[in-house]
């Protein structure tokens, strides 16, 4: 009997070791992989920020872009719905139906406005999982973390034999408060989430033969470091004549030569606190780019310490925006060189002036608006190229 018990215990220990040895890699899944051409396409759709029902132009545009570009994954970048408490479930279902009906996998992060209508982030998360079904790949990696649904998703190589890429989704939370409960500004990614990131990166690296796996990060609120890359510092605080942030004053003069592509049409709104997220990513060395929304008219890309800080403009026709960039961001990865990527803004204006002229029937943007938007985009792109060329020669 003792011998039998010993054998059983030994078997249990061996099975336990096997379970540990073959534990799932964080974010591992069976559906995301590079295609036969070595490409993986992502849609980053930010700030739909609409009520229920969602504006018809926005819905039709997203569906058309999915049909044309066939993304492998859609990442909703926060402020996805501002519908009332009574209609929130209907709004989330309508949004999820876009992806379910087109059989498109998606995930999401929350923004500062998502849960302001009396529906908690936890309840919203459950709605996405319910209405998104098998196509919703979001999960809450650690419910003890600050925020809800911070998680990662891995992307397999085209042959399916290894992890070729990693995607982080961070809840950048909503608003920051002092010890007396006074609102100070926007929130950010917290220390416990940063520790989760570092551990997850290490686990994915270990599963990849101890080789670093290139990654991207997605969240709603931009990191604080963006200010130093976009604006010239002012020698003094001049009140409303300067941008005053985190104890530093900046002029309204942008460092245009730092903008690799895109628009800067308003000052960014980072979190009030900075717990070291960006520094941790620089130190860890896996993140190629970090994408945010939140600042609806901005679509810039700037580089700092080897990481691109990228803003995706709003897709909203309910909240404020700019017709020259209103749309979504397409990101294309290539498994043969994961140190870089291609990206472009797919705008409603461009589509109206091309194959999507019928969108004007919904009344959210006229052909005249689209033309003005295109002119504005062409002018700004010319300005950026001129400034970049000027600085290249001095």
The predicted-structure confidence for 93-133, as pLDDT tens digits, reads as follows 999 999 999 999 999 999 999 999 999 999 999 999 999 99
Distances (CA, A) of 38 to 74, 106, 166, 332, 341: 18, 20, 15, 10, 12
For residue 291, pLDDT over 60 is answered with yes
- pLDDT for the residue 336: 96
Cβ atoms of residues 138 and 148 within 8 Å: no
CATH node for 23-392:
3.60.21.10
Q: Is the peptide bond before 332 cis (omega within 30 degrees of 0)?
A: no
Grade residue 256 by pLDDT with cuts at 50, 70 and 90.
confident
- H-run or E-run covering 259: strand 259-261
Distance of alpha carbon 125 from alpha carbon 138, whole angstroms: 9
Tens of pLDDT, residue by residue over 187-236, are 999 999 999 999 999 999 999 999 999 999 999 999 999 999 999 899 99
Distance of alpha carbon 328 from alpha carbon 322, whole angstroms: 12
Tens of pLDDT, residue by residue over 107-116, are 999 999 999 9
Cβ atoms of residues 311 and 323 within 8 Å: no
Strands ordered across the beta sheet of 342-347 = 106-108, 73-76, 39-45, 327-334, 342-347
Query: What mean pLDDT comes out for the span 240-264?
Result: 88
Which one is predicted more confidently, 75 or 323?
75
Distances (CA, A) of 64 to 92, 136, 246, 328, 373: 20, 20, 42, 12, 20
Query: What mean pLDDT comes out for the span 177-189?
Result: 95
- pLDDT for the residue 324: 87
- pLDDT for the residue 375: 81
Distance of alpha carbon 218 from alpha carbon 171, whole angstroms: 9
DSSP 3-state of 287:
strand
Distance of alpha carbon 144 from alpha carbon 342, whole angstroms: 35
Length of the chain: 394
Query: What mean pLDDT comes out for the span 369-384?
Result: 75
Which one is predicted more confidently, 101 or 393?
101
Tens of pLDDT, residue by residue over 5-34, are 344 334 434 333 333 333 489 999 999 999
Taking the model in full, what pTM does it have?
A: 0.91
Axis-axis angle for helices 191-207, 277-284 (nearest 10):
20
Q: What is the mean pLDDT of the chain?
A: 90
For residue 85, pLDDT over 60 is answered with yes
Lowest-pLDDT range, 164-168, 218-222, 262-266?
Answer: 262-266
Cβ atoms of residues 288 and 309 within 8 Å: no
- pLDDT for the residue 382: 62
């Amino acid at each position: 009997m003792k011998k039998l018990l010993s054998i059983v215990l030994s078997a249990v220990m061996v099975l336990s070791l096997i379970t540990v040895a073959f534990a799932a890699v964080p974010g591992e899944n069976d559906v995301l992989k590079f295609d036969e051409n070595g490409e993986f396409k992502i849609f980053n759709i930010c700030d739909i920020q609409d009520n229920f029902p969602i504006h018809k132009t926005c819905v039709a545009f997203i569906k058309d872009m999915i049909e044309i570009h066939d993304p492998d994954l859609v990442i909703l970048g926060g402020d996805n719905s501002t519908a009332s408490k009574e209609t929130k479930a209907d709004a989330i279902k309508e949004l999820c139906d876009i992806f379910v009906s087109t059989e498109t996998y998606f995930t999401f992060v929350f923004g500062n406005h998502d849960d302001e209508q009396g529906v908690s982030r936890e309840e919203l998360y459950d709605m996405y999982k319910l209405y998104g079904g098998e196509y919703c790949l979001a999960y809450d990696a650690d419910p003890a973390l600050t925020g809800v649904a911070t998680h990662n998703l891995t992307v397999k190589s085209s042959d399916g034999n290894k992890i070729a890429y990693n995607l982080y989704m961070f809840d950048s939370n909503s608003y920051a408060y002092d010890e007396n409960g006074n609102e100070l500004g926007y929130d950010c990614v917290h220390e416990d989430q940063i520790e989760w990131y570092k551990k997850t990166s290490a686990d994915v690296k270990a599963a990849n033969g101890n080789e670093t796996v290139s990654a991207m990060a997605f969240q709603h609120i931009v990191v604080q470091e963006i200010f130093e890359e976009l604006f010239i510092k002012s020698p003094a605080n001049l009140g409303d004549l300067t941008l005053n942030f985190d104890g530093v004053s900046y002029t309204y003069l942008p460092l245009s030569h730092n903008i690799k592509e895109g628009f800067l049409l308003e000052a960014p709104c980072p979190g009030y606190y900075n717990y070291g997220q960006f520094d941790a990513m620089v130190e860890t060395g896996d993140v190629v780019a970090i994408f945010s929304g939140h600042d609806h008219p901005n679509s810039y890309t700037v580089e700092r310490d080897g990481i691109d800080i990228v803003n995706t403009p709003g897709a909203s026709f309910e909240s404020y925006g700019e017709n020259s960039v209103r749309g979504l961001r397409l990101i294309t990865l290539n498994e043969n060189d994961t140190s870089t990527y291609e990206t472009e803004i797919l705008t409603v204006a461009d589509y109206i002036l091309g194959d999507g002229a019928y969108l004007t029937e919904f009344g959210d943007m006229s052909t005249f608006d689209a033309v003005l938007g295109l002119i504005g985009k062409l002018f700004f792109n010319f300005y950026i190229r001129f400034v970049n060329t000027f600085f290249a020669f001095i």
